[in-house]
Amino acid sequence: MNKKAVGFVYALLTVIILSACSTEEVTTNHSDPQVSVSTTVKPLTKKEFSEVEISELTSPSKQDFRKVHVVLTLRGTDYLSNIQVKLPNYKQAFNNMKDDQQIRYWFGSGADEEQENKNIYTREFVLYTKDLNDQQIKDILATGKIKTSWVLKDTKTKNQEEFAAGKNIKFEAK
122-136: pLDDT as tens digits: 999 999 999 899 999
Q: Is 61 helix (H, G, I), strand (E, B) or coil?
A: coil
Residue 103 lies in a domain: yes
Boundaries of domain holding 160: 29-171
pLDDT value for 26: 36
Helix (H) or strand (E) holding 103: none
Residue 83 lies in a domain: yes
Round to whole Å and give the CA distance between 66 and 106: 10
Q: Is 29 helix (H, G, I), strand (E, B) or coil?
A: helix
Residue 41 lies in a domain: yes
Per DSSP bridges, beta strands 65-75 and 118-128 are antiparallel
Residue 158 lies in a domain: yes
Q: Is the dihedral of CA 107, 127, 42, 169 positive or negative?
A: negative
Residue 6 lies in a domain: no
Residue 129 lies in a domain: yes
Q: How many separate domains does the chain show?
A: 1
pLDDT value for 163: 84
Residue 9 lies in a domain: no
75-99: pLDDT as tens digits: 999 999 999 999 999 999 999 888 8
- Whether pTM > 0.95 for this model: the answer is no
Per DSSP bridges, beta strands 169-171 and 34-43 are parallel
